[in-house]
Amino acid sequence: MIETLRNAVAFIGISLVDALIMASRTPAAFLGLGSELGRIAPGYRADLVAFNPSFEVVGTWIGGIGWTGEASKTSERG
């Protein structure tokens, strides 16, 4: 998915904000999960991906549990 974001921004000229909406909010709504996924907001599941300006993934959170590439750095966050 990160490659798709990078390509949408670099080659199509879509803003990063619009590309992120297309990759998160739009699919969640299509699947009927728009009330629990696709946004960073209270009551939504904390499934997140952090990436740097070069579109390299530096961390992920699934259900609020984070992973940064090293098992010792896994932590629960709300």
Rg (CA), the chain: 14
How many other CB atoms are there within 10 angstroms of residue 54's CB atom?
7
Q: Give the model's pLDDT for residue 22.
A: 94
The alpha carbon dihedral of 57, 62, 42, 38 has a sign of positive
Measure CA 58 to chain center.
Answer: 12
Backbone angles phi, psi at 71, to 5 degrees: -55, -35
Q: Which residue has the tokens 């549990």?
A: 65
Q: Splitting the chain (78 residues) into consecutive groups of 10 residues, what average pLDDT does each group show? A: 93 95 94 94 92 93 81 45
Is 40 in a helix, a strand, or coil?
coil
